[in-house]
Structures are given as C-alpha cells and as structure tokens.
Structure 1
Amino acid sequence: MRLEFIERVTDGDVLGKSILSGDGNVLLRAGARLTNGYIEKLKSLGVFYVYIDDERLEDICKRDRVYEELKQNSMKNLGIIVKNINNGNKKKAKEAIKAVENLIDYIIEQESVRDNLQDIKTYDDYTYYHSLDTGIIATFLGLNMELGKNELKELAVGATLHDIGKIKINESIIKKNGKLTEEEYQEIIKHPIYGAEVIKNYYGENEPIVKAILEHHERVDGRGYPYGRKGNEISKFGKLVAISDVYNAVSNDRIYRKKFAPNEAYELILAGSGSCFDSDIVRQFRRTFAVYPMGSCVKLSNGVEGYVIRQNTDFPDRPVIRILYDSRTRKPINFYEVDLLKSLSLTVVSVS
C-alpha cells in the first residue's frame, strides 16, 4: 500500500485501509474502488490522505484486519467510557476500558503490528483519535523500554484517558477558536487534576494510571502544570505520556493551528530533550519512531519522488525509498530503490 494525499488520488484507485470517523464508524471500507464522486465526497468530509492498494508496494503497510477491528472497537468504546465515567457508572466504564486493554494485548503479542508504528490518521476528526493514538504511541515506547505486560496495559489506559478531565470543563472553553482569557486558561490547566480525581475512584489514588493522567503536562525543567513538578518528581508514566501526547497532538490539525509536518513534529520532541522531556525517554523515542511513515511519498533533494518502504535503525531521517514514477510526468517506471543511509548526498526535502 502507499499513502497518498487525497489530491493525488485518481479515479479507479482501490482503497487500502478503511476510513474511520472520530468515533470509530466506517466512512468507507477497504477494497472500495474510488470514483471521482467518492474522492470529492471524501475531500468535503475532511479526508486529506488515504492508503491505496499498489502491487508494487504490497510488501509494506499490509492490512491487519484483527488490529483494525480492535482499534475500531476501542474508539467506539471511548465514547462509552467518557459517558459512564461522567455518570459515575464504574461497572460499565471498566467494561468499556477492557476494549482498550484487548487492543494493547494484541499489540504486545503480535510482532507484525509494530509495522503500524505510525498507522496514520487519515480523517481530520479529533474526537477520539488523539486519545487512542496517544495510548498506542505510549505502548510502542513502553515495548521498546521493555516494560512488563501489566505495566504496558496500565500505561496504555493512562495514556488513552489522559484528557478525561476535560469532561469537567465547559465545552465552550474546550472548543474556543481564539485566545483564552486568563480565567479560561486557569480552568484548562486544571484538567489533569480533574482527570486524576475522576480516575482515582476507579484505580486508587497512587496508582500509575492516575499519575500518568495527573502529570502528562508536567515538564522535567519544572515549567509544566498543574504543579510545576520537575525531574524525578514526575513519574515514569507521566514522562512517557507527556511525549506521546505532544507528538500525537502536533501531528494533527487543531482548532487553533495547523498540524506540523512529520519531520517538524519529530524534531520538536528531540529539541525538548532534557528541558520539556526526559532525555532517556527521548532516546527511546528516537529508536522507536521514524520521521517519515511507511508508505508515505517523499521528495528527495535531487527532485525524485518515492515511497518509504523501510526504516534504518538509529537513522530515523534516512529511510529506504522505492521510486515508482517519473517525478515529472507521474508515469510508471521500472521501479528501483534508494537507501538514504548509503546515498549520503541525498536528503528528504518534503512529504509529497
């Protein structure tokens, strides 16, 4: 499969992965042949890129139907979690949280899922994507840090529910398109406290899950909130969720700003090492995630465009690229590959 901007999708292309809405409903199923009508409808819905089947890239971004179904089910259950935590129904909330734990179990057990390290959100709907993707990013980081299974599940639940405190804040503040007043800002920065208060009724006051929620906006230099904790005053889970939250947040559009380019989001995390983020965890982040997602089209410094087919460990900005088209005419060619770790004179200049 290849990852294409919707503007470059053509009539007759076959959808490689289903497109989900922010609450887990299927907008268009994998395998659908895209007509011009479908393409225009997807544009109007805010879809900005899609996975397209391509036999020349069939060895990458392979579909994992079990993973897709578990992720979809988790997204649907996030709405149930929020509703029942808000209503104080502990039993139903914990039953819904089990859907997230099932997804994490699968990620832990299936090595192949790790090919989906950056399983890109294609639909511009922030509803539950950010929460779940933050949990998944934290899980991959935790796997690389060799956390045990129980720790990974606690980390994933804490990361997925990191913003649950926002249910206690007026929606007009949450969705405000413009600068917050000082009073509104002071209310917003209480959401980790509100979240910890809600969740400690489910998991106990000092549990790692609660600390992850309470501390996900703390920074190692003490300039975070709500308490300005620093260094080792912040729990391991708090530090892990902080990185996962920021990386996912800046990679997506928000009401008040456009998303960062993949390399900009990545570099933001690296630049925060030792100030915003724990430097040891940033090193693990660098080993876990790559700058350019698998299947994405990038433009090289020589003007040639190609698709990322493999990552080079410890060199996240120098992947292996497969060239499928003449970059000027977009006509297919006998494809060939360029390993940027060997072709040191070439660099990636943009995501096409």
Structure 2
Amino acid sequence: MKYTSIDRIQQGEKLGKHIFASDGRVLLNDGVPLTVALISKLRRMGVNAVYLKDDRLSDVTLEEVVSDKTKNEAIVTLSQSFQFIQSGKDFDTQEVGNTARKLIDEILQNKDVLVNLTDIRTNDNELFVHSVNVCIISIIVAIQLGLDPKRIQELAIGALMHDLGKVLPEQQEAEGLNSKLEDEEFQGDHTWKGFNYLRKIKDISTLSAHVALTHHEHVDGTGFPRKLKGEDIHFLSKIVAVANHYDNLITATNGSAALLPHEACERIMGLSNIYFDHNVVWKFLRSIAFYPTGSQVKLTTGETGVVVAQHRGLPQRPIVRTFTIDHHTYGGDDFEVKEVDLAKETTIFIESILM
C-alpha cells in the first residue's frame, strides 16, 4: 500500500484500508475503486489522505504497534463515553480502563515496532483518533522510560480523556468549576473543565485527572493553564504533552496546515528542554517513524519510491523501494525495481515526501 494525498488520487485507484466512522461503521470498504464522486465524498468528510493499493507493493506488510481492530474499538469506546458525558450520563469507567489495558498489552507485544500514525481521519472521528493516538504514543514512551504498570495504566486513561473538557456541556462545565476557577481567565479552558469533571469520578485516579489539567504545560513555564515549570509538572503530563503536540502538528487544525511526520519530529526536537522534557523527547524520537511505511518519497539520487520497512533505533533511515522507468524496454513503461536500505547507503538521503 501507499499513502497518498486526496489531491493525488487517480480515478480508478483502489482504497487500501477501510474508512471508519467514530461509531465503528465502515464508511468505505478496503478495495473499492475510487470514482470522482467518491473522491469528492472523501473531501467533504474531511479526509486529507488515504492508503491505496499498489500491485508493486503487494508483499509489503504495514507493521502497526496497535492493530486497526484494536484502535477502532478504542475509538468507538471513547466516542460512546463522550456521548454519554455530553448527554449528562455517567460513562463506563471500567470500559475505558479495559480499553487502556488492551492498548498497553498490544503495545507491549509490539514494542519494537516504530509508530506509523498515518491515520485516515474524518470530521466525524478526528477528536477520538487524536485521543487514541496520544494514548498510544504516551504508552510507548512510558514503556521505553521503564515506568511501572500502575503508572502506565493511569497515564493511558489520562491520555484517552485528556481533551474531555472540549466536549463537556455548558452546565457541567459550570458545575465543575470551583471558586478558585471562577475568574474569566479560566472559564474557557478545556484543561480545567476536564480536570474538574474527572477528579469527581471515583474510579479515575487523581493522576489521570491531572493529565487532563497539565498536558499543555511547558518545562520553561510558558504553558497553560498554571504556567508550571520543570519539576512542578508531573512526569506523566510531560509525556502526554509531547504526544499531544506531535499529533496536533501532523493534523490540519484551526487553519494550520499539517506537518509531515519528519517535520513534526524535528519541531519537537527543537523544543527539547524548552517546552518538553529532554528524556521524554529522546524516547519519543526513537519510537516514531519519521517516514512512515507507505510514504512516497524522493531520494537525493533523484529516484522516487515508497518506504517499505523501518529500522528500530534508526527512524530516519528506512528501506525504500524505488521504481525507475526502463526506457530500453518496448513502449518504455516497464520499471526497474530496487530496494535502497538507507541504514546501509549512508550517503543517500530522503529529499522529500511526495504527497
């Protein structure tokens, strides 16, 4: 499969992965030929890029740290939980806890796989995909840092619920604010809203609730809502801060264009010890695929191809399958296929991603 911008899809190309709604329904099936009408429908749904089938890549396995099935189940659970909360009902904390444990267990089984977060997002599921992605990245970093299982569970629940304050009904927002927070400075802040809701729930730990409150704090004190610095920020929140910022960077939000994964990683690298804890950033960068499998790339040799495999510990040096037109064949439309392992070809680099 190859990952392709919606603007570069050719009519008749086949979808490489299901596209799901936030309630788990399949909106478009894997393998469906994309017509002009379907491409227009994808645009209206807010889809910016999709996986497409490519016969030249039929042997390539898209390794995932969490399976599509498990991720989709987590998105459905989160969507249902937020719907309950919005309607003034209690959400199933046990179901959210089970979802967190399932994500942790699967990540532990695949902890040597680099994270490929090239999700197919729609207007319908964007918040839930974001929350699950932040949870996945946070768990991976926590495992790399050697945190104990209880802390990782609290981290995972906090990460899943970190943006809860964005969807709370106005009445619940008002009820959740204590006298300390009645100042207008805090009234519109989703971090306080989420924290005040979660801290009242018996089965949600205070640490998980604090993740919702402090995931926008920066180690230099320029974050919000409390402008905490350094060691005043809980370590779990430092992890979620990096995961949240990365997923926001690779998503088109509030009129800002999405960065490519390697650009987002470089941005976070530059913010180490400014916004983000250095140790967290280091473990994060060793866990993320800078050039996700399926990415179409151009090499410094002038060759173009598709990333087909990753190297754990060398996320900037994947294996690329190149396709060069052989003009010596009859018709000139055959391709010379070659695999370039950038971990071995140390003088060759990825020049750009072709979206």
For the aligned pair, the TM-score class normalised by the smaller chain equals 0.7 to 0.9
Q: 1:121 is matched by which residue type in structure 2? A: D
The corresponding residue for 2:176 is none
The residue identity in structure 2 corresponding to 1:286 is L
5+ residue gaps, structure 2: 171-182
Give the alignment of 1:119-158 within 5 angstroms. Answer: 119-125=117-123, 126-158=126-158
- CA displacement at 1:4 relative to structure 2: 2.2
Separation in 2, partners of 1:132, 1:73: 10
Q: Kindly tell me: are residues 46 and 165 of structure 1, through their superposed partners in 2, closer, same or farther at Cα, counting changes over 3 Å?
A: closer
Cα 1:27/1:76, change in 2 over 3 Å: same
Distance in 2 of aligned mates of 1:60 and 1:252: 26
Equivalence for 1:344 = 346
1:208 to 2:207 alignment: yes
Per the TM alignment, residue 143 of structure 1 is displaced from its structure 2 partner at its CA by: 2.5
C-alpha RMSD of matched pairs (Å) = 3.1
How far apart are 1:123 and its partner, in Å? 2.9
The normalised TM-score by structure 2 is 0.83
CA 1:322 to 1:192, structure 2 compared with 1: closer, same or farther past 3 Å? same
CA contact (8 A) 2:114 2:287 kept: no
Counterpart in 2 of 1:49?
49
For residues 58-86 of structure 1, give each alpha carbon's deviation from its aligned partner in whole angstroms, at most 9, with x where no partner exists. 4444488x932332222222232123334
- The alpha carbon displacement at 1:131 in A equals 1.5
* Deviation digits for residues 97-127 of structure 1 (CA, Å, limit 9, x no counterpart): 246325414523532x864722312234233
**Residues in 2 aligned to 1:60 and 1:236: alpha-carbon distance in whole angstroms:** 38
Runs of at least 4 residues of structure 1 off by over 6 A? Answer: 327-330
Deviation at 1:156, TM superposition (A): 1.6
* Matched residue, 1:196: 195
How many pairs does the alignment contain?
A: 337
Change (3 A) 1:62 1:309: closer
Structure 2 CA distance for aligned equivalents of residues 330 and 143 of structure 1: 51
Query: In the superposition, relative to structure 1, how do residues 246 and 56 fare at CA in structure 2: closer, same or farther (>3 Å)?
Result: same
Q: Distance in 2 between matches of 1:244 and 1:40?
A: 32
Q: Cα distance 1:146–1:309, how it changes in 2: closer, same or farther (>3 A)?
A: farther
Counterpart of 1:273 in structure 2 is: 272
Matches within 5 A, 1:106-185: 106-111=105-110, 115=113, 117-125=115-123, 126-168=126-168
Partner of 1:202: helix, strand, or coil? coil
Give 1:161's aligned amino acid: M
Cα distance, 1:234 vs structure 2: 1.0
The counterpart of 1:334, out of the listed 333, 336, 354, is: 336
In the TM superposition, 1:164-313 aligns within 5 A as 164-168=164-168, 187-188=187-188, 190-203=189-202, 207-313=206-312
Contact kept? 1:155, 1:209, Cα under 8 Å: yes
Q: Report if the CA contact (8 A) 1:77-1:99 is conserved.
A: no
| Distance in 2 between residues matched to 1:79 and 1:285, nearest whole Å | 27
Distance 1:80 1:299, change over 3 A: same
Instruction: Give secondary structure in 1 for the equivalent of 2:67.
Output: helix
Provide structure 1 residue ranges, at least 5 long, that are not aligned to the other structure.
Answer: 171-182
Q: Which amino acid aligns with 2:251?
A: N
Q: Is residue 138–residue 240 contact of structure 1 (8 Å, CA) maintained in 2?
A: yes
Q: 1:237: Cα distance to partner?
A: 0.8
TM-score of the pair, normalised by structure 1 = 0.83
Moved more, 326-335 or 156-165: 326-335
2:28 equivalent to 1:28: yes
1: distance between equivalents of 2:282 and 2:6? 34
Equivalent pairs: percent with the same residue? 30
CA displacement at 1:344 relative to structure 2: 3.2
Distance 2:258 2:158 in 1: 24
Q: Could you say what secondary structure the match of 1:317 adopts? A: coil
Q: Which amino acid aligns with 1:208?
A: L
Instruction: Work out the CA distance in 2 between the residues paired with 1:118 and 1:348.
Output: 17
- Is the deviation greater in 19-28 or in 212-221? 19-28
* Pair 349,124 (structure 1): closer, same or farther in 2 beyond 3 Å: farther
